[in-house]
Structure 1
């Protein structure tokens, strides 16, 4: 009997302090591992293509694309770190130690909060481009956008480390046995996190895009009513406006998909995780992670430059001298 019990323990040599192995059926565990790792691999590949495209081709070095690059980096890290480690944490014993557990939890808070910050910056970029087009080139510069991206990442790292400071200073303090990775957040800290990383940013995103939508509709009507009687110079201006409106619609789709994927997780947090069963909590977590795979798919559907840059990259034309100067747009 003792042998059987030992076989069910994460650390059989620690009979009194070891956690028991998860009781998930082997067939179900294999299916979940295969599915998650496949999605993770696909997400890594797609976001790596975005990172290479925006970083390599000089023509793509625009403020908006720098924000997309930052979002792609966070999505890349979600697929590379969070997705595979999270499925291992849920379906098997934790053998990586308490410190790695604390660091993983810190990263799991940092990357999603960075993604939310990137979405706010993208919304601000489109707001200025559509609502204040004459001031866009002076207000939204590459240097300022790079600084905002840096501050976004820095603040996310600082906030996350501060948020779980107790667990970072005393790793494993909440573990009831060896072989688990658990971090407990008190209700006050959870409420503050919900407000800072969801309610305030999402409210700002919604308000900005509502304003963008109203202005975009009025501009589209103006272009349709004057398109038949314009000078050449006015035609060029209209073409530029049309391009900005198209970019706003594309990034609007990006924001809507982001909200669809992230809202269930924060709604569960708002309702109280203890009131929801484990399967539902796991589903909303992986739905957030799946958003990282959808973003490059949206680029493929709406951005011709991304499809062209992927073709150049996959065919290794990117290795040719001077390829960074290629005409991608």
Structure 2
């Protein structure tokens, strides 16, 4: 993605104050738009199915599924708003103004921070379920999980507002009209790297290492305690499935944060477009994981697509 000196201006009437349009290969640009907008639509559709499923069917109103519901909400917003806006921001002139530009980055920070917090909560949920199963029903109640999710979102709003307080002044860092960039000073960038990446990742890895150790010991114990086999297998399967979710999260987020270690102002660099898209692809992959590993998701989708959820008492359907 290069801007040539003779390139057409974004806003002809502004002359020297206007940014220049990106010169992109037409066929490659069209293909890129089609692929990315398809990913955006699929992300929206699949996460909407997760939201409807968990919200509608009472059997799915469990602590773990409440966390998945919250994650699906953030993933839905990524597909609906962030991916399309990122495509437009990085491949064309920004025509939506400084206020929408600030809103885009503010929303990006909120959703990313909340998603990271929810992944940590999912790890805690599995840790308690595997490592302290006797106290799981009392410690991880639906009410407590809902409160934790709300606190997670409130923290994201507070943190991002504090983190971007200087940037939230529209147009402050734009060098020309038609540009939408994010500029963060070194101190704020380092603090964000620690608080939004290293600390959560460390917590997740430590919890899952503990889960792995306990899971191995439980698998051995199953051979001599037949009565607890069904329950233990169910919990271990859930831990494995959510473990895949966490691994995909790390694989999607690590390239972005690793890039910020070697490149300043990654968000304002057009060459980092694909790193940012990979950052958002986690929202596309999450519902794919549910479809592959959760039988209840397939059953609920079938009921939703066939419109059986509009039948009386459909919320009490047995889908587990």
| TM-score band w.r.t. shorter chain | over 0.9
**Cα distance change on mapping 1:194 and 1:296 into 2, 3 Å:** same
**Structure 1 residue 141, shift from structure 2 partner:** 0.6
Question: What is the Cα deviation at residue 32 of structure 1?
Answer: 1.4
State the partner residue of 2:254: 263
- For the 8 Å contact 1:67–1:145, the answer to whether it is kept is yes
CA contact (8 A) 2:260 2:266 kept: no
CA separation of 1:275/1:241 partners in 2, compared to 1, >3 Å: closer, same or farther?
Answer: closer
- Is 1:321 paired with 2:320? no
Give TM-score scaled by structure 1 length.
Answer: 0.92
CA–CA distance in structure 2, aligned partners of residues 275 and 204 of structure 1: 25
Q: Is the 8 A contact 1:6 1:15 kept in 2?
A: no
Contact 1:124 1:208 in 2 (8 A): yes
Select between 34-43 and 238-247 the one with higher mean Cα deviation. 238-247
Given the two structures, how large is their TM-score scaled by the length of structure 2? 0.95
Say if 1:65 and 1:187 are closer, same or farther in 2 by CA, change over 3 A: same
Q: What SS does the corresponding residue of 1:172 show, helix, strand or coil?
A: coil
The superposition leaves residues 276-303 of structure 1 with CA deviations (integer Å, 9 ceiling, x where unpaired) of 9957622221111111111111111111
Are 2:173 and 2:183, in contact at CA under 8 Å, matched by a contact in 1? Answer: yes
- Whether contact under 8 Å (1:268, 1:276) holds in the other structure is no
2:277 matches 1:286: yes
Deviation at 1:244, TM superposition (A): 0.8
SS at 1:171 equivalent? coil
1:273 to partner: Cα distance: 3.8
What's the CA shift for 1:275? 9.4
**Which residue in 2 is equivalent to 1:90?**
90
Gaps of 5+ in 2: none
| Partner of residue 174, structure 1 | 173
Equivalent residues in 2 for 1:8-47, closer than 5 Å? 8-47=8-47
Partner of 1:206: 205
Residue equivalent to 1:112: 112
- Structure 2 Cα separation of the partners of residues 45 and 249 of structure 1: 25
**Mapped partners of 2:173, 2:142: distance in 1:** 44
Deviations 1:124-180 (A, max 9, x none): 000000001111111111111001000111111121122111121x21011111111
Residue of structure 2 aligned with 1:248, choices 233, 239, 248: 239
Q: Is 1:309 matched up with 2:308?
A: no
- In structure 1, the residue matched to 2:99 is 99
Larger mean CA deviation between 22-31 and 178-187 belongs to 22-31
- Structure 1 pair 280/239, CA: closer, same or farther in 2 (3 Å)? farther
* Closer, same or farther: CA 275–38 of 1 in aligned 2, 3 Å: closer
Question: Residues 243-283 of structure 1, C-alpha deviation per residue, up to 9 Å, x if partnerless?
Answer: 11110111011101111111111111122347999576222
**What is the number of equivalent residue pairs in this alignment?**
316
Deviation, 1:7, is 7.9
Alignment partners' CA distance in 2, 1:118 and 1:74: 10
- Please give the alpha-carbon distance, in whole angstroms, between the structure 2 residues aligned to 1:280 and 1:294: 23
Paired residues of 1:305 and 1:328 also in contact (CA < 8 A): yes
Aligned-partner Cα distance in 2 for 1:242–1:89 = 47
Asked whether the equivalents of residues 273 and 281 of structure 1 are also in contact (C-alpha less than 8 Å), the reply is: no
Deviation at 1:238, TM superposition (A): 2.6
278 and 163 in structure 1: CA distance in 2 versus 1, 3 angstrom threshold: closer
Equivalent pair of 1:6/1:12 in contact (CA under 8 Å) = no
Q: Which runs of 5+ in 1 are unaligned?
A: 228-234
For 1:145-160, list aligned pairs within 5 A. Answer: 145-160=145-160
